[in-house]
Chains A and B, each alone.
Chain A
Amino acid sequence: QIQLVQSGPELKKPGESVKISCKASGYTFTNYGMYWVKQAPGQGLQYMGWINTETGKPTYADDFKGRFVFFLETSASTAYLQINNLKNEDMATYFCARPLFAYWGQGTLVTVSS
């Protein structure tokens, strides 16, 4: 069955970087793009952008240009979200998802605290 399994929770200090993985199984990885969504504590869902898993080309929402990086390890059917120079407002749960958000990862909580 189709599964997206994300890496575990992270505790980071402001200014550090974090890398979140999303491993896909149950389908051909390069047939579907991978999308990323942010959910701050107690808040709604914010679409961050997506990466074309065939070409590796990322597309970012305006709020996520600069410090956020989407990349792939295609041989491992894994997509990554890296956040550089972490800020307090990056504290959130981050989800990966397939197109139209029919399938989601379980979410990765990133805590940013000095």
Chain B
Amino acid sequence: DIQMTQSPSVLSASVGDRVTLNCKASQNINKYLNWYQQKLGEAPKLLIYNTNNLQTGIPSRFSGSGSGTDYTLTISSLQPEDVATYFCFQHNSWPTFGAGTKLELK
């Protein structure tokens, strides 16, 4: 199975900061990479699909990029409501999730 490694595991940032979360696959996943946001006690929410496509209703401050094995989720200006855990997910082959990045306010 493809392993997905997210970094950092915890990120502290201030409101208004530009924030970058990383996800590295153990092999090429051909941009079949999604990003999810999970707030405490809730189901995950799809933010970005296939590397850089913004899901309907998601604020434009979220964006994704990457190719091959390396992918990034960027929040252009962090808002208090963005505090959550973010998971990457590959569906190039047997699906696997990353372990998550917990985003906190500084």
Contact = CB atoms under 8 A, between A and B. Distances in A.
Interface in A72-97: 95
Contact of B43 (A44, A46, A100, A104): A104
Contacts of B91: 100
A7 interface: no
Interface string B34-45: 101000001111
Contacts of B42: 106
A44 B95 contact: no
19 contacts: A44-B87, A44-B99, A45-B100, A46-B97, A47-B95, A47-B96, A47-B97, A61-B94, A95-B43, A100-B46, A100-B49, A100-B91, A101-B34, A101-B89, A102-B46, A104-B45, A105-B43, A106-B43, A107-B43
Chain A interface extent, by class: 10 to 19
Interface of A: 37, 44-47, 61, 95, 100-102, 104-107
Contact of A44 (B45, B49, B94, B97): B97
